[in-house]
Amino acid sequence: MQTQNSSQTILVGVDGSSSSVAALRHAAGLAGSLGCSLTAVMCWQKPQFYMADIEFEDGPFEQVATQKLEATVQAALGADPDVICRTLVRNGRPGEVLVDESASSRLLVMGTRGHSEFVSMLLGSVSLECIAHAHVPVVTVRADL
């Protein structure tokens, strides 16, 4: 087995979906081949209510995201993965966070939910944003293929 270079990490965007589980598994295979570690990233944001003055504390949202990220990593890689996997939970829009984090990574791997072209146009696409703006190559993985 190759030693893992801690200065080289493969960034993986995680949202808890089956596509992000597939992306983590794919990234783990790449990391093993390249001698890299993984950094699994999950983003969270406070709900935005317009025309209402509601304050939310960060704690519960960050805690739920942390638990969801750990559960997704466990589901994808098991209790004793073959590669080093660090987890990172960040507040912010997923596309912006992943582009920012990609600056210190070797590769960005992410799942794609496979929305139709019309739905992606309405909702936006984190994958497309990352492909257009990431500092490194981006690999997208679909769970249903």
What pLDDT does residue 3 have? Answer: 43
Q: Is 143 in contact with 17 (CB distance < 8 Å)?
A: yes
Q: Which domains does the chain have, with CATH numbers?
A: 5-141 (3.40.50.620)
Q: What is the predicted pLDDT for the residue at 5?
A: 44
At 143 the pLDDT is: 77
d(CA 144, CA 54): 39
Report how far residue 42's alpha carbon sits from residue 40's, in angstroms, rounded to the nearest whole number: 7
Cα 93 to Cα 43: distance, rounded to the nearest angstrom: 7
pLDDT at 58: 57
Cβ atoms within 10 Å of 49's Cβ, excluding its own: 9
What is the pLDDT tens value at each position of the chain, 145 positions in all?
344 444 589 999 999 889 999 999 999 999 999 999 999 999 988 766 555 555 555 568 889 999 999 999 999 999 888 999 999 999 999 999 999 999 999 999 998 875 555 545 544 588 888 999 999 999 999 877 5
Name the CA radius of gyration of the chain, rounded: 16
